[in-house]
Copies of this chain bind each other. A is one copy, B any other.
Amino acid sequence: MSHRRTVFVVSDRTGITAEMLGHSLLSQFEGLEFRRVTLPFIDSPDKAQQAATQIQAAADNDHERPIVFSSMVNENIRNMLKLDCALNLDFFEAFIAPLESELGRASSHTVGKAHSVSNFNEYNARIEAVNFSMAHDDGIKPRDLAEADVILVGVSRSGKTPTCLYMALQFGIKAANYPLIPEDLGEIKLPQALAPYRHKLFGLTIAPDRLAQIRTERKPNSKYASLDNCRFETAEVEAIFRREGVPYINTTSKSVEEISSTILHQAKLERKVF
């Protein structure tokens, strides 16, 4: 059995963007396993030297060339990561030159511009959206529905909560969360409180067997988690969505990113944060 290859993500900031792009690229090579190491905030020659030493050590130990995804604004520091013992792919270097040429000006080569919090309004929009989602999880006051940018409706465990939070954090969108729950007679109705906000509703549904699996993790052997009940509830809400003209998506095989991005674009919401 061969040693696992080490993948480094080295960034002068958080490394989160480089991690995501690196992950996306490596997911194209199925069946390969990697040891992953992120080295964030590498913003000085000293730190770059330490990172280079770590990469060299991995090359010596693994008997496989490490892969280094980097994202470094400073050219001198970036070049310190270009080692013979590893493949270095820098996301910044590849694109900054054609952009400079297209825009007809030099880039500022200043670290940390993207996540600058100098824009207090944008910062506030994001935190406000998070607080809104937190305050209105599973049951929103009617007078606050007016404030929501979008109101997610669906059965319990269809993905509303993480979607609301992701939309708040990533896009600054105030997403409210309104669960559709069976009434005493088993029927599910669109609550009267939502009537004035029909245009803001977005429905989530999910495959019954997947819903049963998720609910079983929470309440094993309950009526709530039974496949029969999950079939009934999802059929009911899908009928409501169609009858009432509420746009909806099936979250079964979608990540939180995919659900959030789909709603953002289909509902034509304006993001407050970039």
- Mark A residues whose CB is within 8 Å of B: 13-17, 19-21, 23-30, 32, 36, 38, 40-41, 65, 67, 71, 73, 87, 89, 91-92, 94-96, 98-99, 102-103, 105, 107-110, 113-117, 120, 123-124, 126-127, 130-131, 134, 137, 161-162, 165-166, 169-170, 213-214, 217, 253-258, 260-262, 265, 274
Would you mind naming 7 contact pairs between A and B with Cβ atoms under 8 Å apart? A13-B258, A25-B92, A27-B114, A29-B105, A41-B261, A115-B254, A115-B255
Q: How many copies does the complex hold?
A: 2
Collect the chain B residues with CB atoms within 8 Å of residue A95's CB: 25, 89, 91, 94
Q: Is the CB of B96 within 8 A of A28?
A: yes
Alpha-carbon distance A257/B19, docked complex (angstroms): 13
Collect the chain B residues with CB atoms within 8 Å of residue A107's CB: 28-29
CB nearest neighbor in B for A20:
B17
Alpha-carbon distance A40/B13, docked complex (angstroms): 26
> Shortest distance in angstroms between A17's beta carbon and chain B's nearest beta carbon?
4
Known A-B contacts: A38-B265, A117-B255, A126-B162. Give 10 more (CB < 8 A). A23-B274, A24-B114, A28-B99, A28-B109, A28-B113, A40-B261, A41-B265, A67-B99, A134-B134, A165-B165
| Known A-B contacts A28-B107, A109-B28, A134-B137; A16 and B114 likewise in contact (beta carbons under 8 Å) | no
> Shortest distance in angstroms between A118's beta carbon and chain B's nearest beta carbon?
8
CB nearest neighbor in B for A162:
B130
Collect the chain B residues with CB atoms within 8 Å of residue A254's CB: 115, 117
| Known A-B contacts A258-B115, A274-B36; A108 and B161 likewise in contact (beta carbons under 8 Å) | no
Q: Is the CB of A108 within 8 A of B253?
A: no
Which residue from B41, B67, B92, B255 sits with its C-beta under 8 Å from A262?
Answer: B41
Alpha-carbon distance A164/B102, docked complex (angstroms): 40
What 3 A-B pairs have minimum CB-CB distances, sorted nearest first? A27-B113, A28-B107, A14-B261
Q: Is the CB of B110 within 8 A of A134?
A: no
| Known A-B contacts A130-B162, A254-B117; A261 and B17 likewise in contact (beta carbons under 8 Å) | no
Collect the chain B residues with CB atoms within 8 Å of residue A87's CB: 98-99, 102
Which residue from B14, B30, B71, B113 sits with its C-beta under 8 Å from A258?
Answer: B14
Which residue from B16, B25, B73 sits with its C-beta under 8 Å from A99?
Answer: B25
Alpha-carbon distance A109/B28, docked complex (angstroms): 6
Collect the chain B residues with CB atoms within 8 Å of residue A99's CB: 25-26, 28-29, 67, 87, 89
Alpha-carbon distance A71/B24, docked complex (angstroms): 10
| Known A-B contacts A29-B105, A89-B95, A103-B29; A161 and B255 likewise in contact (beta carbons under 8 Å) | no
